[in-house]
A and B are shown apart, each in its own frame.
Chain A
Amino acid sequence: MAEDKKTPQLDELEKGPWPSFVTEIKRAAVKSPAANELLGLMERSYEDNKGHWKHGGIVGVRGYGGGVIGRYTDLPEEYPNLKEFHTMRINQPSGWFYSTKSLREICDIWEKHGSGLTNMHGSTGDIILLGTTTDELQPTFDEFSDAGYDLGGSGSDLRSPSCCVGPGRCEFACYDTLDMCYDITNEFQDELHRPMWPYKFKIKMSGCANDCVAAIARADCSVIGTWRDTLIINNDEVKAYAESGMNIQRLVCDKCPTRALEFDAINNELTVIPEDCSRCMHCINMMPKAIQPGKEKGASILLGGKSTIVKSAFMSWVIVPFMKMEPPYTEFKDLMYRIWDWWDENGKTRERLGELIYRVGMGTFLREVGLPPVPQMVFRPRANPYVFWQEEEINK
């Protein structure tokens, strides 16, 4: 049994000034036999240089197709409390805002039904609850449901939409990410809970191009706040930055990726060339008191971000340069339904949307989904624009 074993390799991970997951599992092990055996199994994995987990299979909550990931150890005789050690995903609130009361409630339910171990949060965004048995899945779900929580996504479904803290804490947010995340989570309940697609689909919402949820590299659909008009510059504040000793030319203008800013060092005035600005947020981050996003705000829609699976990792492509993002988000929802129908019809098993677009071509995707090609659809920033001349359109 694990309590009889030493864990010298795991103990190394408790050294240093940072928090240690090993320390936390040891704390949970005081109450939970499964957490105790988990220490032994992890040490064993480090010794053997292999994981001792099998995963997949059941979901185990009536009517749901996602939100539970079945996990089993391949050493059940040695670690009987890990014979079944399933993960549950609970859909997080928009922007991960909790009261301490709700966090206590989540932990109390999980200590009652599972190992007590949590991962706040998984990369999908959900509250991750680590380790329970098949028999406990439905009772755990029922108690969370009574407390107002729902399962998140897993498998070939829409994963729980996630967003940055948006206007809740950030002046840069170009739309209400929190409201949109809540709204579309409710709209897409079937897509979230009944896996029906070739593979997973993630929607992540960032209020600006700082992209604090890293949507562009991870999400099949990124909704990234931007503005359609031009930067707002307050030259009184520019002067204050200059007088405080800030080297505006070097730190701001020279680092503008499109050289869209010009600084008059004699008069301490900053001007922007609107048509060259790519709305990257660098100047705003450097001089937030002097530069603000424009007034006509909305979001860019990007598609195709993913990690390596069928193909290598992809960054997202801009598909819609600007869309107003206001309730009830009808234009966005309609676009999602069209894209999903196309992907579901044409995608191979385990093929993400970006991989399908890569396979059949962006031109085919745009024509069949009904989107116009625009210059902002670039393969790499400021380079290689797609050209969509069809044979019949060429005037020979």
Chain B
Amino acid sequence: MSKEPADPKIKEKVLAYLETVEKAKSKDIAKAIGEVKSDVDNAIKELAIEDKIEYLYITTTFVALKGKVGAP
């Protein structure tokens, strides 16, 4: 994963996409918003640190907007 700061525009696109779904894998997010997967991974990392999104484990790992998905 890149050690450089994430592109703010990609972070915005990730957040906008996650508004439209319950949860998603980063690969699917990258495909949906038309960005390179590694750049999306980097954006997700920063958004998680900023507490705007969270990782969820439901047979595999997804990401979702913070608080959007409840406990099983």
Contacts of B72 in A (CB 8 A): 54-57, 70, 72
Chain B residues touching A, majority SS: mixed
In whole angstroms, what is the CA distance A156 to B57 when docked? 8
Q: Is the CB of B27 within 8 A of A194?
A: no
B21 at the interface (CB under 8 A from A): no
CB nearest neighbor in B for A197: B61
A199 at the interface (CB under 8 A from B): yes
Which interface class (under 10, 10 to 19, 20 to 34, 35 or more) fits A? 20 to 34
Interface residues of A in 133-177 (CB under 8 A from B): 134, 154-157
Given contacts A57-B71, A57-B72, A62-B51, contact A196 B57 (CB under 8 A): no
Q: Is the CB of A190 within 8 A of B57?
A: no
CB distance from B25 to the nearest CB of A (A): 7
A66 at the interface (CB under 8 A from B): yes
Contact of A58 among B51, B59, B71 (CB under 8 A): B71
In whole angstroms, what is the CA distance A198 to B61 when docked? 8
In whole angstroms, what is the CA distance A190 to B60 when docked? 17
In whole angstroms, what is the CA distance A69 to B70 when docked? 14
Given contacts A62-B49, A62-B51, A72-B71, contact A56 B58 (CB under 8 A): yes
CB nearest neighbor in B for A83: B71
Interface digits, B38-72 against A, CB 8 Å rule (1 contact, 0 not)?
00010011001101001111111101000001111
Interface residues of B in 12-48 (CB under 8 A from A): 25-27, 37, 41, 44-45, 48
CB distance from B70 to the nearest CB of A (A): 8
Q: Is the CB of B60 within 8 A of A350?
A: yes
Interface centre among B27, B37, B49, B69 (most CB of A within 10 A): B27
Contacts of A344 in B (CB 8 A): 27, 37
Contacts of B51 in A (CB 8 A): 62-63
Chain A residues touching B, majority SS: loop
Which interface class (under 10, 10 to 19, 20 to 34, 35 or more) fits B? 20 to 34
Q: Is the CB of A194 within 8 A of B37?
A: no
In whole angstroms, what is the CA distance A59 to B54 when docked? 8
In whole angstroms, what is the CA distance A349 to B37 when docked? 15
CB distance from A61 to the nearest CB of B (A): 10
A304 at the interface (CB under 8 A from B): no
Q: Is the CB of A196 within 8 A of B1?
A: yes
CB nearest neighbor in A for B27: A344
In whole angstroms, what is the CA distance A389 to B56 when docked? 44
Given contacts A64-B48, A190-B45, A194-B45, contact A59 B1 (CB under 8 A): no
Contacts of A56 in B (CB 8 A): 56-59, 72
Question: Beyond A62-B48, A65-B48, A196-B44: 4 further Cβ-contacts under 8 Å?
Answer: A57-B56, A65-B61, A72-B71, A196-B37
A-B contact pairs, 16 of them (CB 8 A): A54-B72, A59-B56, A59-B57, A63-B45, A65-B61, A70-B71, A70-B72, A72-B71, A72-B72, A84-B71, A134-B71, A157-B61, A190-B45, A196-B26, A196-B41, A198-B60
Residues of B that sit less than 8 Å from A by CB? 1, 3, 25-27, 37, 41, 44-45, 48-49, 51, 54-61, 63, 69-72
What 7 A-B pairs come out closest when comparing CB atoms? Answer: A65-B55, A195-B61, A155-B61, A156-B61, A190-B1, A63-B49, A155-B57
